[in-house]
A and B are shown apart, each in its own frame.
Chain A
Amino acid sequence: MNCTEAAELFSSYLDGELEEGERLALEAHLASCAGCEAEVRTLRSLKHAVGRLGGRAEPPESVRARVHALSLRKSSRARRIPVSVLFVAACAALALFLARATHRDRPPAQLLAELISDHAKYVPRGMPAEIASEDPAQIRSFFEGRVRFSPAVPRLPGARLIGGRLCRLGGEPVQLLFYLYQRQGLPLSLYVTALDLPAGKCHARGKLRACVEKKAPLAFILVGEVPESELRELLRGAGTDDGLWQGRTRPDPLDAPKYADATKPVGPSRRRSRSARRPLQARPSASLDPPWVCIPATVRRMERTRPSRGDA
């Protein structure tokens, strides 16, 4: 083997990609040729130097959350399951359904209390917006495809839109919009969701209030340190330039978990339509059981993992 032939094999040799015969022949040549041996050492150092550049980079929280959600999603292709297993599963599901129905008459006070708690804890420290903008169209396009309804970015009378972020309530993606109430310069959080919440409910904790308004098919929860009458007035006056409350939900009929339906007593004798029954069966994760708090988990993760950008 001469030096030219040997040089053709250096890279493969360093990568362990030579066949036994070639490797032995090359090593014999290297043992007797200082020039080639030095060249191989250079290439080996170079390989190690490239390997130290860092082949990992921290993705943003939104990508990590999306990938995590994908990993949890059920496979779309149904598997073949024995009839006996299906029967047992159906009985268990019915028992669970009936058991849960007896607990569904609580008002959304707990939900509103949690949202007030989020607002009190996180919003004054700087609204944790994923998109900062005063332009409703821009914020609306941010939510397009991220929530399972046509996004709504209303104008609130006397309040200035400043941004938004994607949240989850009971596993459902919802919009969280941030406003500044110009009268007192106070921050407001507005949740926009397709969850079927009872309209007109308000909850108070200290000076903070949270109120629900329904503009079918969407529900709005406004949270802020504002008197209840003013919150209701803000919600009543909410509107969009483009007549937004058309708010079509996506064609998927499973989208909106029925909270209002769930407040009614349900028993074996009550006849429920197929469409009303499907959401509860098909998307149990979309029910309004805790955890429904949306800010703390994401903010905690943001605080814990500072994105490192210089890795790649």
Chain B
Amino acid sequence: MRREEFAELACSYLEEITAYARRLLGNEWDADDLVQAAYERAFRHWREVREPAHCRAWLFRITRNLHLDRKRSEKSRDALRIVGGEVTDSQGSVSAETVERLTAKEIEAALGRLSNEQREAVLLCDLWGFRYEEIAKITGVPVGTVRSRISRGRQSLVRHLAAASGRRSRL
């Protein structure tokens, strides 16, 4: 791949990388800084991308690794922190029709209760449409782990939504 091709491809993913960085960091200021640093790193190492088809996942991986590097250098354990916590007192389920009526805010709230690892795997799969193998490369874990995180993550989402739905119907 020539540099011009890489540059064109990389720039076409800028909005996705921006959204990903904002999800990683939770605030726009730091996320925008991360995006810029990720692209600087990407343009230094662009030759690592052998195939154009790998470029997008590679950019996501660079962004993620850079984020983790910074976290480590800050001696922060945020990257491993579990946000929220899994609901264990609910075995409920919701119907497909109920899910279709949910607002984005409700979905976000449920996502926010997943572990970082599960949320990341679910988002990479459902929001950005990566294959399991690509997610494994981005996150640096085996494909089996990705499969498990997505499966468990979705089950947790259903339970959280069922619990939220139950609370709403009791009001």
Partner of B18, one of A39, A47, A57: A57
Given A50-B107, A50-B126, A53-B107, A45–B96 Cβ distance below 8 Å? yes
Asked whether any CB of chain B lies closer than 8 Å to the CB of A130, the reply is: no
CB atoms of A17 and B7 under 8 A apart:
no
Partner of B157, one of A8, A44, A46, A309: A46
Residues of B contacting A73 in the complex (Cβ-Cβ under 8 angstroms): 43
Residues of B contacting A17 in the complex (Cβ-Cβ under 8 angstroms): 131-132, 147
Q: For chain A residues 44-94, which have a beta carbon within 8 Å of chain B?
A: 44-47, 49-60, 62-64, 66-68, 70-73, 75-76
CB atoms of B147 and A11 under 8 A apart:
yes
Asked whether any CB of chain A lies closer than 8 Å to the CB of B154, the reply is: yes
CB atoms of A66 and B36 under 8 A apart:
yes
Partner of A46, one of B36, B147, B158: B158
CB atoms of B125 and A42 under 8 A apart:
no
Residues of A contacting B40 in the complex (Cβ-Cβ under 8 angstroms): 70
Q: For chain B residues 113-156, which have a beta carbon within 8 Å of chain A?
A: 122-123, 125-129, 131-132, 147, 150-151, 154
Residues of B contacting A47 in the complex (Cβ-Cβ under 8 angstroms): 126, 154
CB atoms of B127 and A55 under 8 A apart:
yes
CB atoms of A58 and B18 under 8 A apart:
yes
Residues of B contacting A62 in the complex (Cβ-Cβ under 8 angstroms): 32
The residue in chain B whose Cβ has the minimal distance to the Cβ of A308 is B15
Residues of A contacting B100 in the complex (Cβ-Cβ under 8 angstroms): 45, 49
Count A-B contacts at CB 8 Å.
Answer: 121
Asked whether any CB of chain A lies closer than 8 Å to the CB of B164, the reply is: no
Q: Is the interface of B mostly helix, strand, loop or mixed?
A: helix
Q: How far, in Å, is B35 (CB) from chain A's closest CB?
A: 6
CB atoms of B23 and A45 under 8 A apart:
no
Residues of B contacting A45 in the complex (Cβ-Cβ under 8 angstroms): 96-97, 99-100
Residues of B contacting A72 in the complex (Cβ-Cβ under 8 angstroms): 7
Given A11-B150, A11-B154, A57–B15 Cβ distance below 8 Å? yes
Given A49-B100, A63-B35, A15–B150 Cβ distance below 8 Å? yes
CB atoms of A11 and B95 under 8 A apart:
no
Given A43-B154, A71-B43, A312-B19, A64–B102 Cβ distance below 8 Å? no
Asked whether any CB of chain B lies closer than 8 Å to the CB of A38, the reply is: yes
A54 vs B94: C-alpha distance when bound (angstroms):
23
Q: How far, in Å, is A245 (CB) from chain B's closest CB?
A: 30
Asked whether any CB of chain B lies closer than 8 Å to the CB of A252, the reply is: no
Partner of A52, one of B3, B93, B96, B104: B104
CB atoms of A10 and B104 under 8 A apart:
no
A80 vs B150: C-alpha distance when bound (angstroms):
47
Asked whether any CB of chain A lies closer than 8 Å to the CB of B28, the reply is: yes
Residues of B contacting A312 in the complex (Cβ-Cβ under 8 angstroms): 18-20, 22-23
A43 vs B28: C-alpha distance when bound (angstroms):
31
Asked whether any CB of chain A lies closer than 8 Å to the CB of B86, the reply is: no
Residues of B contacting A309 in the complex (Cβ-Cβ under 8 angstroms): 28
Residues of A contacting B93 in the complex (Cβ-Cβ under 8 angstroms): 39, 42
Residues of A contacting B158 in the complex (Cβ-Cβ under 8 angstroms): 42-43, 46
Asked whether any CB of chain B lies closer than 8 Å to the CB of A12, the reply is: yes
Given A12-B147, A38-B96, A56-B16, A66–B39 Cβ distance below 8 Å? yes
Residues of A contacting B19 in the complex (Cβ-Cβ under 8 angstroms): 54-57, 311-312
Asked whether any CB of chain B lies closer than 8 Å to the CB of A236, the reply is: no
CB atoms of B128 and A59 under 8 A apart:
no
Interface residues of A (CB under 8 A from B): 8, 10-12, 15, 17, 38-39, 41-47, 49-60, 62-64, 66-68, 70-73, 75-76, 309, 311-312
Q: 7 closest Cβ contacts across the A-B interface?
A: A71-B7, A56-B15, A45-B99, A11-B151, A57-B19, A50-B126, A312-B19
